[in-house]
Amino acid sequence: MILGFNENFVPAIVAGTKIHTIRAGQRWQAGTVAQFCVHAGQPAQREFWPPQVIRLVQAIELTATELRVDGRLLGPAELLALAQADGFATAAELFAFFADKPLPFQGQLVHWTNCRY
């Protein structure tokens, strides 16, 4: 399955500092092979990284000020760690990224490493 990304996240994925992604819906499952692409669904679509097996999928819920993984509210330190592992410098940047989406946001935290929250 195609896992599409904004070009801004590509360097962090390739460097290994972005180790998961947040997605709407419920389509991802552990064991699925993900193709890492930019410009997904467009003529300029291209893979930028080798396919990876999705190792873990966790439920995520995000409000304007809180984030829960598998129903558990993350504290400030764990929230910062998740934000940074998702390609953001701060938790505030993560919340700002989702500010224009209907809240609460519910979806999946898709892991291609052994990280778990």
- Peptide bond preceding 104: is omega within 30 degrees of 0, i.e. cis? yes
Q: What share of the chain is helix, strand, coil (3-state, %, to 5)?
A: 20, 35, 40
pTM: 0.95
What is the per-residue pLDDT across 34-73, written as a single tens digit (0 to 9) for each? 999 999 999 999 999 999 999 999 999 999 999 999 999 9
Question: How is the chain split into domains, by residue range?
Answer: 2-111
Task: Work out the percent of the chain whose per-residue pLDDT is above 90.
Answer: 98
CATH entry, 2-111, from 2.30.29, 2.30.130, 2.40.160, 2.40.50:
2.30.130
Q: Amino acid identity, residue 29?
A: Q
Mean pLDDT over 14-40 rounds to 97
Average pLDDT, the chain: 97
Q: Nearest Cα to 106, choosing from 66, 56, 54, 52?
A: 66
